[in-house]
Structures are given as structure tokens and as C-alpha cells.
Structure 1
């Protein structure tokens, strides 16, 4: 994925607007997406799961793609936060893009 690194603040603001709208409309659906968010004055590539009008899971990308300069613009998440979660008896696990290449 290629990001417009010069406009990360705008992307983060747009992401927040999208999240708020999805929370508003997500009733019986499970919506999972990745967005750019600003956390503690740093940007993260974050997966968000939304269900029944609320965020039920978040997970930051932990394996940043250095060839795409992600490590220059994003803070990586913690590997320990990559774990399955459950919604209505359905187990869900999320890997974000490049993380698929790691067996651990």
C-alpha cells in the first residue's frame, strides 16, 4: 500500500470521520478495516473492528514494511497485541498486510 505521507494529518482526520460514520451504521454487521490514526502524536496503521455501534477491537500494525518507508512515518504496534478476539462466538484474527509474511 502506498500512503500520501505528506498528508498524514488529513488522512488521520478523514479516518476518524469514517470510523464515526461506521459506528453509527454498524448494527448487526461486523466491519473490519485499517485506517491511519494519530496516537500520542505519532501515526499508526491500525485495524479496527466495529460491531453493534462500537469499536470492539483495535490492533496496530507491528511489522512495518521498510521498503515502503513505513518505518519512517508510522510507529509499530506490539506483537503481543496480535491475538484472536471473538464476536458472537466467531473467532477473528487480523494480520495487516506485510504481517502475513511472518510465521510467528
Structure 2
């Protein structure tokens, strides 16, 4: 199965961001990808000045929803959305013109203004899709192995990580993605963004269940492609049955 990770160049202009996201999804379709992951807050970026005009999930993702109606691709898109009067840093799973699942970021980042403007989610989720069982974490949350481990125990075969991870800590990002893959023996699709000022570092990655980097982006807007084989997840877990020893931990 071909998958794509879209490393979007996020700017302050919301309409420009939406068009960039749409263009990257179109490129993933051209590569015959079955899954494409967009970065965190792909519509607004984490610019508080954009939050006042944020609308519902479906309104924020209207272009991608329309594009996906007749396409056989699962879009996993980071999006700031308004729901019941509150703003959430969410990730939507879109298939055939519909939102088939949503996860809202639980751990809001303490070093910017996320906690001032956004409401935290409350529930980890694994989504059963035609392309595998997919868990989602957002950016900062990849630092917490407990969250990824719980998603694995819930059945995840793939972990998607939309992010806006800064360049100054990009080696943390690269190490954490590989660590989460190795610890849980699943694929990790990490979609970081880039920015005109170089603050966000890129290096989006596709990592296999053994921690091998299948593909990695640089520091410009681009799309990376890789192969995901869910049978390989099962085979790795059988040949290296380390996860079974979790039950032996006192």
C-alpha cells in the first residue's frame, strides 16, 4: 500500500494554507497513495490571529471533502476547528467526501499560547479504516510514550503524527518518531510543516515497525511517498514478540 506524507509550508494566510493542503492531497492522489497525512493546523497554522474566524470542521475542510468524494484515498488532516463554541486542535480522517473520524489533541503545548485559546480533547482513539487500524497523536504528544503505547494496545497498526515541530528541536522529532515505531512495532507517519522564516523544521518521516526510515523529507514543502505493509507489522510482532512481555511488568 502506498502512503504519502505532505510537508506543507504553512503561512499566516488561511486561504493560501487551504489551497496548499489541497494541492498536496492532489499530488498524493497522482502517486496512487491510499493514505495521505497533512500537518497539524494545516488550515490556520498556530497563529492566534487566525482563530477568531475558525468555523466548523466540515467548513474548514470543505475543499478536501469535495476533492475526496470520488477518490479512493484516506486524508488525515490536522485542523483547528470550532465545535460547540470552543476551539480544538483536531485531526480529521476524511474518506469519500465524509469525515469518518476525529481526534482532538489532549496535551496542549505549554510553551506557546495553545492553552490560552484551545480546548483539550479527552479521548485517545484508534480508527478502523479500509487501510488499517490508525492511531493519531499531535506534535507534542509524540513525546509521551505512554500515549503511543496505549494506542498500540488499542490495536493501532499505523500511528499518524501531524505536527508543527520547530527546527531547533528537529533531532528530538526524528528520534521520537523512530522510538515510537520501535517500541510499538507499528508504522509511524510523521507530517511536520515548514515555514517561510525557517522556524518549523520539516523532516517529515515514514518509519517502519523496525524503526527504519522508509522516506524522509528535507526542509521545503514537498510530499514523500512510501510503502506500508500491514502483514509486515504482524510478522515483526511475531518474530520479535517483545510486546507480549508488557504483561510481565510488575
Say what the alpha-carbon RMSD is for the aligned residues: 2.0
Equivalent position of 1:101 in the other structure: 143
Corresponding residue to 1:75 among 119, 126, 145: 119
Equivalent position of 2:81 in the other structure: 37
Corresponding residue to 2:132 among 82, 86, 90: 90
Equivalent position of 1:63 in the other structure: 107
- Tell me, in whole angstroms, the C-alpha distance in 2 between the residues paired with 1:86 and 1:69: 33
Scaled by the length of structure 2, the TM-score of the pair is 0.37
Question: What's the secondary structure of 1:65's corresponding residue?
Answer: coil
Equivalent position of 1:4 in the other structure: 47
Unaligned runs of 5+ in 1: none
Distance 1:14 1:75, change over 3 A: closer
Unaligned runs of 5+ in 2: 1-39, 147-250
Scaled by the length of structure 1, the TM-score of the pair is 0.84
- Tell me, in whole angstroms, the C-alpha distance in 2 between the residues paired with 1:3 and 1:85: 25
Equivalenced residues, count:
101
Distance 1:92 1:19, change over 3 A: same
Give the structure with the larger strand fraction: 1
